[in-house]
Amino acid sequence: MTKFKKYFISSTSSIKEAMLVIDQNASQVALVVDAERLQGIITDGDIRRALLRGQTLDQPVKMIMQKKFRFLPETATKQEALNLMLSETLRHIPILDKDGFVKKLFLLEELMKPSSLSNDVVIMAGGKGKRLGGLTKNCPKPMLKINGKPILEIILEQCIQAGFKNFYFSVNYLKEQIKKYFQDGSRWNVRIHYLEEDKPLGTAGSLSLLPKPVEKPILILNGDVLTKIDYSSLFQFHIDHTADMSLCVREYSAKIPYGIVNIDDFHVLSLEEKPTQLSFVNAGIYLLEPNMLNLIPKNKFFDIPELIKLAKEKNYKINAFPIHEYWKDIGYPENFLQTGKDWE
């Protein structure tokens, strides 16, 4: 049982406030209360679905909270809570008294506490980082340091903290620096293998070098992206939506410096003065089912967009998983400098 009051938010709170509670406690849940009486539940998934629908973080939580939720009475035991969560695929269960006041909160991760995840993680670390100019002339991009630590090491340690133990680094440009630094991973008490490209194979091509068979979903990460993403939420989303591939996306806003004229034929419908355009961009994080690997040609340059296009043509199911946590692509000089400040 966890200290549950830190998960409380008011019914007048915004979606952003709920998101902060979820992120800070890494629980994927916030409890909407009125004087500690439970009014509704908001999960990490509720927020991500709201973002995909175009809802803003300033809107009130009552617009997305689940008013019908499962709970147990005060007499319920820890085992009863665990049984209910496992049977109904729940990650949390509140315990309420007869008047609806929260008395306990059980979290599945705390009751089960898996020590490790057997899924493989592939980190793409072979790019030349041309956009970073002289910074990568003698140093591979993933080995650039953020506050004294290589980016690739930060990514590795985050994955280890999430429970992953088996890693593949896809390497090409200045690969000996990466191999010398990380070796077999024993320094971090994990296993690191190397997918060595004789020639550039693109963001998906090196996956054809993975040893077979692969039996579980594979987490693919770009070696130039730093994020605070909750990997357990990504895996749960992937399972809940039975996807062949879950593609992480990030909302990106761009200010258009001109007035946008909306027309129908030659008739002017409206004029929007310098609007902000919102789009979802590829966040460089993917979760793939093993069957996706069969689509990747061997020893051929093949990028993730090509893999997605081919998979869609063959009716594979690909879902978008929106990231609301911190995310930064350090492949641009300004982003690299900003990330150093952010991470500190």
Task: Name the phi and psi angles at 189, rounded to 5.
Answer: 65, 35
Q: Is residue 339 domain-shared with residue 255, that is, in the same domain?
A: yes
Q: How far apart are CA 16 and CA 12, in angstroms?
A: 12
Evaluated on CA atoms 94, 92, 240, 64, the torsion sign reads positive
Residues 213 and 250 in one domain: yes
pLDDT at 113: 62
Distance between CA atoms of 280 and 323, rounded to whole angstroms?
Answer: 10
Q: For residue 32, what is the domain's CATH number?
A: 3.10.580.10
Of 209, 127, 221, 225, which Cα lies nearest the Cα of 172?
127
pLDDT of amino acid 290: 95
User: CA-to-CA distance for 264 and 273, rounded, in angstroms?
Assistant: 18
Tell me which residues of the chain have a pLDDT lower than 70: 1-2, 26, 113-115, 344
In a shared domain, residues 104 and 196: no
Q: In the chain, how many domains are there?
A: 2
Residues 222 and 335 in one domain: yes
At residue 164, the pLDDT reads 94
Q: Please give the pLDDT value at position 83.
A: 84
Whether residue 72 sits in one domain with residue 92: yes
Q: What is the pLDDT of residue 312?
A: 96
Q: Name the domain boundary from 90, 112, 134.
A: 112
Q: Are residues 275 and 143 in the same domain?
A: yes
Task: Please report, for the domain that includes residue 312, its CATH number.
Answer: 3.90.550.10
The answer on 188 and 96 residing in a single domain is no
Q: Are residues 182 and 328 in the same domain?
A: yes
Q: What's the pLDDT score for residue 125?
A: 92
Phi, psi of 136 (to 5 degrees): -110, 20
End-of-domain residue from the set 112, 139, 155: 112
Scan for tokens 């069957």, then name that residue.
291
Same domain, 70 and 182: no
Q: Which of 64, 89, 112 represents a domain boundary (last residue)?
A: 112
Query: Which tens digits make up the pLDDT trace of 240-250?
Result: 889 999 999 99
pLDDT at position 1 is: 47
pLDDT in tens, 100-158: 999 988 888 777 765 578 899 999 998 877 887 778 888 889 999 988 899 999 999 99
Q: What confidence score (pLDDT) does residue 296 get?
A: 95
Residues with Cβ within 8 Å of 237's Cβ and at least 6 positions away in sequence, in order, are: 45, 48, 246, 319, 321
CA 280 and chain centroid, separation: 14
pLDDT at 316: 96
Q: Do both 104 and 206 map to the same domain?
A: no
| Residue 127 token pair | 């790019």
**296 and 224 in a common domain:** yes
Q: Are residues 102 and 131 in the same domain?
A: no
Taken as a whole, the chain contains a residue count of 344
pLDDT tens per residue across span 210-234:
998 899 999 999 999 999 888 888 9
Q: How many CB atoms lie within 10 A of CB 285?
A: 22
Q: Which residue type is seen at 61?
A: V
Question: Per the structure block, which two tokens stand in for 231?
Answer: 């990997």
State the Cα–Cα distance between residues 335 and 344, nearest whole angstrom. Answer: 14
Residue 157 sits in which domain range?
117-343
